[in-house]
Amino acid sequence: MSTTPKGADATFDPTAIGSFVAAVFAAAGSSAEESRIVADHLVEANLQGHDSHGVIRVTKYVDWCKAGQVVANRHAQVVTDSGALLVVDGQFGYGQVIGREAMALAIERARKHGTATLAIRNAGHLGRIGAWAEQLAAAGLASYHLVNTSGFGILVAPHGGSDRRMSANPIAAGVPVAGKPPLILDIATSLVAEGKIQVARNKGETLPPGMILDGKGKPTTQPEVFYASPPGAILPVGAHKGSGLSFFCEVLAGALTGGGSSHPDNPTAKRLVNNMLTLAFDPAAFGSGEGFAADVARLIGWTKASPPIDRGGAVLLPGEIEQRTKAERLRRGIPLDAVTRRQMAATAASAGVPPPPGFAP
């Protein structure tokens, strides 16, 4: 399974990792279907290059499940149904299951009404948010998604502030492209996703300057400092602009969905809860179906034709880098660092699942 020596970064076959991870979730109490859904979501994140939202999460997810913070085998429960508007309660179930079921509802409603507004509250970690835009794009829908965490994930300093007040609050958008993979924007409104700080810490690497503050509000590049007491903070992307987008994730994904905005006094602040507002659009219902596809194709060509600023460079559209990384990782395997593998192996062992040969460093 491993293609490089023990102890170092090693690459692994995605199918084998998926089966191993699914076995760990099954041992932790998830049904076979849920185990597979969660495992596939995490492996897909690794394949697309978002290691921070990949199988590195197994240890935390299992810990949360043991602590009752995420509850196995829960489903999306519709609490408000006004046709094109649905409010879904995730009942603290695995976000990968709740998100998938909720997106299926959004697809059904957007096909019927031309558009759907879907609010999810009280879901477990929804993982890589681009996955939800991909599910809708596969059904021919364009979409926009805003996400917050109720208070457990307070990590980001507001522009002009020096300590953690907001969550990493990702925003995703997607559009199907005729005959090609969809274009998917998938960004945290923090300069770096917290999971990437975790990855840097596991690898013993420093972060690029200008991304995080230490506990005294001073700039630092040391991932360890971020996890010290008092903890550090991540800066918002794009200064006041990202800070403003993040604020409106709190308003629209948090306050509006009923999941609540990031605040230590939020009743769900002690468990990782993701809330999400999804807007789905069926281009055909706008009367611009084929014209929409043609316009998007023209826009793609126009944008990509910009002469690269760097010699040998290229303009990449949202989602293209993930497609490239996925093609490469399907060929070469998923790289996993030794610390992540050690953590995963320990979690698996505590669940009675032996790691595959060559996995534990």
- Footprint of ligand NAD on this chain (CB under 6 A)? 50, 52-53, 125-130, 147, 149, 168, 170, 184-188, 192-193, 196, 274, 316, 318-319, 321-322
Nearer to ligand NAD, 50 or 164 (CB): 50
Nearer to ligand NAD, 37 or 147 (CB): 147
Report, in Å, the least distance between residue 2 CB and ligand NAD: 26
For CA atoms 65, 66, 69, 72, the dihedral sign is: positive
Question: What is the amino acid identity at position 83?
Answer: G
Nearer to ligand NAD, 128 or 165 (CB): 128
Buried b / exposed e along 13-41 (16+ C-beta atoms within 10 A): ebebbbebbbbbbbbbebeeebbbbbbbb
Q: For residue 17, how far is the Cα from the chain centroid?
A: 19
Within 13 Å and on the Cβ side, how many CA atoms surround 235? Answer: 20
Report, in Å, the least distance between residue 211 CB and ligand NAD: 10
Report, in Å, the least distance between residue 261 CB and ligand NAD: 14
Q: Which residue has the tokens 């609010």?
A: 119
Nearer to ligand NAD, 2 or 189 (CB): 189
Report, in Å, the least distance between residue 20 CB and ligand NAD: 22
Nearer to ligand NAD, 152 or 359 (CB): 152
Of 191, 193, 192, 173, the C-alpha closest to 183 is: 173
Nearer to ligand NAD, 43 or 351 (CB): 43
Cα–Cα dist 318/293, whole Å: 16
Report, in Å, the least distance between residue 1 CB and ligand NAD: 26
Report, in Å, the least distance between residue 349 CB and ligand NAD: 27
Task: To the nearest 10°, report the CA torsion of 17, 11, 223, 321.
Answer: -90
Nearer to ligand NAD, 8 or 239 (CB): 239
The helix/strand/coil state of 267 is coil
Q: For residue 262, how far is the Cα from the chain centroid?
A: 17
Cα–Cα dist 53/74, whole Å: 21
**Other beta carbons less than 10 A from residue 305's beta carbon:** 8
Report, in Å, the least distance between residue 323 CB and ligand NAD: 9
Question: What crossing angle do the helices spanning 130-138 and 95-113 adopt, rounded to 10°?
Answer: 40
Task: Report whether the peptide linkage leading into residue 230 is cis, meaning its omega lies within 30 degrees of zero.
Answer: yes
Nearer to ligand NAD, 198 or 274 (CB): 274
Report, in Å, the least distance between residue 181 CB and ligand NAD: 11
Percent of the chain that is helix, strand, coil (3-state, to 5):
40, 20, 40
Nearer to ligand NAD, 14 or 174 (CB): 174
Report, in Å, the least distance between residue 24 CB and ligand NAD: 20
Cα–Cα dist 173/119, whole Å: 15
